């Protein structure tokens, strides 16, 4: 299939996402069902593909246009096979006084030659930042955390976000200590499409964006800080303090480590478009936010190809940040929106910068 749209415009030779920024708890809840099913997943950094193994599938087919992103999953697989759980987390996190280079030297022999060469050239970055900190998007948040956030709030206020509180106390803390004019000004500047495109995402990823990203960030941050419990939010913790403090992404948690490790052979990982899987049928789809990088006609064509890969009753799960995407009108009769499940899971979604969670069932 020829490269079109984002595949011909954005760079795919760098680690853009060193960790996955869609909430795996939400994804796994959305795709819950009987064992033995087959899933198709966008790779990104691989965390959510690993999380799908908790559903006891027959196979998880993982695809990405970026070989660098596939290397992120490959090193996780090798680390899970080689290291104990605490060592795995130490390799992922920028934990002080941990020799991550020594951990990587144990992991590298378990990688393919291409993945081994890729990570050997990045050992210094892994030593300093942890595997989960070496991506462009993570660097964007690091710039915010180190250069912008200290101009808005002191360290005590930032740490105070993650103190367990009642909802009423969280709302008081947010109103009285967090939501000041400096915060509102900083979000207007730093979370603009221009800055995020230059420092975080590729500018091409915003070609079809609509609406105000800063306003969306402020609204969703309030939801994550008040309606939810930040002490249990690994995504907010990484953004504001640069590490996970008491909360880990689903696939990294100790209670799931042995289960995921035992099922790693069920992953089918490869380079390519997620909608280009000949002669396979799937029961569930983890599509990340892949549709918002597409023009309307490309989105419709891609959606149609995914429907052709779907078993009856298959479920599509995806997110939108800035480009509103739902089933194209031409395919509307083939799917049913699961609005009740969307609403319930969206309220609990800890990855607070996405505007919309979409769950659609093939009829």
The pLDDT confidence band at residue 136, using thresholds 50, 70 and 90, is very high
The pLDDT value given to residue 195:
63
What is the arithmetic mean of pLDDT over 8-26?
84
CA end-to-end distance (rounded Å), the chain: 27
pLDDT at 286 over 90: yes
Q: What is the pLDDT of residues 211-229, one digit of tens each?
A: 567 788 888 899 999 999 9
The pLDDT confidence band at residue 209, using thresholds 50, 70 and 90, is very low
The pLDDT value given to residue 198:
57
The pLDDT value given to residue 54:
99
DSSP class of residue 204 equals G
The pLDDT value given to residue 242:
96
Q: Is 315 helix (H, G, I), strand (E, B) or coil?
A: strand
Q: Which residue has better confidence, 265 or 193?
A: 265
The pLDDT value given to residue 207:
44
Beta strands 356-362 and 282-286, pairing class: unpaired
Q: Are 293 and 273 in contact (CB under 8 A)?
A: no
The pLDDT value given to residue 2:
36
The pLDDT value given to residue 139:
93
| DSSP-H helix ranges across the chain | 24-30, 47-52, 67-82, 85-92, 100-107, 113-120, 123-129, 136-143, 149-152, 155-160, 167-173, 181-190, 193-199, 213-222, 234-241, 254-262, 296-308, 339-348
The pLDDT value given to residue 322:
77
Point out which residues pair with 320 in neighbouring strands.
Answer: 356
What is the arithmetic mean of pLDDT over 190-216?
58
What is the arithmetic mean of pLDDT over 85-92?
98
Q: Are 260 and 54 in contact (CB under 8 A)?
A: yes
Q: Kindly give, in sequence order, each residue whose CB lies less than 8 Å from that of residue 334, ignoring residues fewer than 6 positions away.
A: 307, 327, 362, 363
The pLDDT value given to residue 196:
62
Q: Which residue has better confidence, 202 or 276?
A: 276
Q: Are 103 and 59 in contact (CB under 8 A)?
A: no
Q: Are 52 and 28 in contact (CB under 8 A)?
A: yes
The pLDDT confidence band at residue 355, using thresholds 50, 70 and 90, is confident
* Percent of the chain at pLDDT exceeding 90: 80
Point out which residues pair with 107 in neighbouring strands.
Answer: none
Q: Indicate the angle between helix axes 67-82 and 85-92, nearest 10 degrees.
A: 150
pLDDT at 327 over 70: yes
Q: What is the pLDDT of residues 254-265, one digit of tens each?
A: 999 999 999 999
What is the arithmetic mean of pLDDT over 258-275?
98
pTM here is 0.91
The pLDDT value given to residue 214:
78
């Amino acid at each position: 299939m020829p490269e079109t749209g984002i595949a011909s415009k954005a760079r795919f030779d760098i680690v853009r996402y060193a960790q996955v920024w869609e909430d795996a708890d939400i994804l796994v809840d959305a795709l819950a069902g009987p064992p033995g099913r087959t899933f198709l997943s966008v790779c990104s950094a691989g965390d959510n593909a690993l999380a799908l193994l908790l559903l006891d599938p027959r196979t998880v087919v993982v695809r990405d246009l970026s070989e660098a992103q596939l290397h992120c999953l490959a090193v996780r697989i090798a680390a899970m096979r080689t290291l104990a759980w605490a060592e795995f987390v130490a390799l992922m996190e920028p934990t002080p006084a941990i020799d991550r280079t020594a951990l990587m030297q144990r992991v590298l022999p378990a990688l393919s030659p291409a993945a081994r060469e890729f990570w050997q050239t990045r050992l210094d970055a892994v030593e300093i930042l942890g595997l989960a900190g070496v991506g462009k998007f993570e660097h964007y948040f690091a710039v915010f955390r180190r250069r912008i956030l200290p101009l808005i709030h002191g360290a005590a206020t930032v740490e105070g976000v993650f103190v367990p509180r009642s909802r009423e106390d969280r709302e008081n803390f947010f109103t009285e200590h967090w939501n000041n004019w400096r915060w509102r000004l900083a979000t207007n500047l730093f979370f603009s499409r221009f800055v995020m495109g230059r420092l975080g995402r590729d500018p091409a990823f915003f070609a079809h964006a609509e609406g105000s990203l800063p306003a969306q960030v402020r609204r969703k941050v309030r939801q994550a800080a008040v309606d939810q419990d930040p002490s249990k939010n690994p995504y907010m913790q990484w953004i504001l303090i640069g590490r996970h403090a008491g909360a880990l992404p689903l696939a990294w948690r100790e209670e799931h480590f042995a289960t995921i490790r035992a099922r790693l052979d069920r992953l089918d990982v490869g380079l390519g478009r997620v909608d280009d899987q000949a002669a396979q049928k799937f029961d569930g789809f983890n599509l990340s936010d892949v549709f918002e990088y597409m023009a309307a006609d490309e989105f419709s064509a891609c959606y149609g190809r995914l429907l052709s890969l779907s078993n009856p009753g298959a479920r599509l799960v995806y997110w939108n940040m800035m480009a509103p995407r739902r089933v194209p009108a031409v395919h509307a009769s083939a799917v049913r929106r699961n609005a009740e499940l969307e609403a319930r899971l969206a309220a609990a979604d800890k990855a607070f910068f996405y505007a919309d969670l979409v769950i659609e069932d093939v009829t």
